[in-house]
């Protein structure tokens, strides 16, 4: 899994990274320590968080310090008092998920909650609203991460070029969202002609070797201006036959652009 590989390169041990399917009938026990932060990541922005012995304010003298920005899909925790325990109820997509925290010599550095297990039955397709939100999150990846956060999003800037008769398609960046098993591609189209070149945003796809991944969502104008450039974003999510694809960002992708 590319997220695990990236975190290992950053010095995070594999034993400190956990992925769990979301189940409102379960209570997730998460280990915390005073020396290292723990980051919990959900598939989409959270609705609300309610805690016991957990607070964002040090003035409250909590046993556990919470760091969370409203509208984001993650939060970070760190133990403030030896032996402290705490709990959170996380409201997400109309359901409540229970998290229990215990003190431990080594923290669970990253906990990723998934819509489905990493392997098993095919996952349902992501909603259009979710895919559009992924594009917006990919655009914001240049923002600095909050203090103490461990990134669970991987990215690459390959600059690979697919040549067409009248234009070129350059993959400027790829951002992978582990929970959704989705890749967001930012592609620049460069027109060689003195007239605009149309293309069909609904027919965009990504090729990897012999495999073709149709875009699950696209954001593009549908035309490249004369002697100019146009940016588009496209998302591929999961595998064409259903289930997770687990594609890393550093594969040799190319762009398939349908045009008259």
Query: Any residues with CB less than 8 A from the CB of 252 and at least 6 apart, and which?
Result: 160, 208, 209
* pLDDT greater than 90 at residue 56: yes
Mean of per-residue pLDDT scores for the chain: 84
**Contact (CB, 8 A) for 106 and 37:** no
Query: pTM, whole model, 2 decimals?
Result: 0.55
Rg (CA), the chain: 21
Q: How many domains does the chain have?
A: 2
Residue ranges making up the domain that contains 206:
128-256
**Contact (CB, 8 A) for 235 and 183:** yes
* pLDDT greater than 80 at residue 129: yes
Indicate if 133 and 235 belong to the same structural domain. Answer: yes
Note the pLDDT tens digit of each residue in 159-174: 999 999 899 999 999 9
pLDDT band at 125 (very low <50, low <70, confident <90, very high): low
Q: What is the pLDDT of residue 33?
A: 94
CATH code, domain with 150: 2.60.40
Distances (CA, A) of 237 to 75, 132, 198, 215, 222: 24, 12, 25, 8, 22
Point out the domain boundary residue: 82, 114, 146.
Answer: 114
The answer to whether residue 121 is domain-embedded is no
What is the phi/psi pair of residue 128, to 5°? -60, -40
pLDDT band at 260 (very low <50, low <70, confident <90, very high): low
CA dihedral (117, 37, 184, 136) positive or negative:
positive
* pLDDT greater than 50 at residue 144: no
Indicate if 83 and 11 belong to the same structural domain. Answer: yes
Note the pLDDT tens digit of each residue in 13-30: 444 678 788 888 888 999
């Amino acid at each position: 899994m590319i997220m695990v590989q990236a975190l290992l390169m950053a010095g995070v041990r594999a034993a400190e990274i956990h992925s769990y399917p979301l189940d409102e009938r379960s209570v997730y026990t998460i280990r915390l320590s005073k020396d290292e932060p723990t980051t919990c990541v959900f598939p989409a922005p959270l609705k609300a968080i309610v805690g016991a012995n957990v607070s964002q304010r040090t003035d409250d003298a909590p046993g556990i310090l919470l760091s969370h920005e409203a509208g984001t899909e993650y939060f970070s925790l760190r133990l403030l008092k030896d032996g402290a325990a705490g709990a959170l109820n996380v409201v997400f997509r109309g359901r409540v998920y229970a998290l229990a925290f215990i003190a431990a010599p080594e923290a669970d550095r990253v906990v990723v909650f998934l819509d489905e297990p990493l392997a098993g039955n095919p996952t349902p397709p992501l909603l259009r609203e979710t895919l559009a939100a992924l594009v917006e999150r990919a655009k914001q990846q240049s923002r600095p991460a909050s203090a103490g956060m461990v990134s669970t999003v991987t990215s690459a800037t390959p600059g690979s070029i697919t040549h067409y008769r009248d234009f070129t398609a350059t993959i400027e960046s790829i951002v992978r969202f582990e929970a959704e098993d989705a890749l967001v591609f930012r592609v620049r189209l460069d027109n060689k002609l003195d007239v605009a070149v149309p293309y069909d945003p609904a027919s965009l796809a990504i090729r990897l070797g012999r495999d073709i991944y149709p875009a699950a969502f696209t954001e593009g104008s549908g035309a490249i201006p004369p002697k100019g450039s146009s940016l588009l974003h496209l998302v591929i999510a999961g595998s064409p036959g259903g289930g997770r694809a687990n594609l890393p960002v550093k594969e040799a992708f190319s762009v398939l652009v349908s045009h008259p």
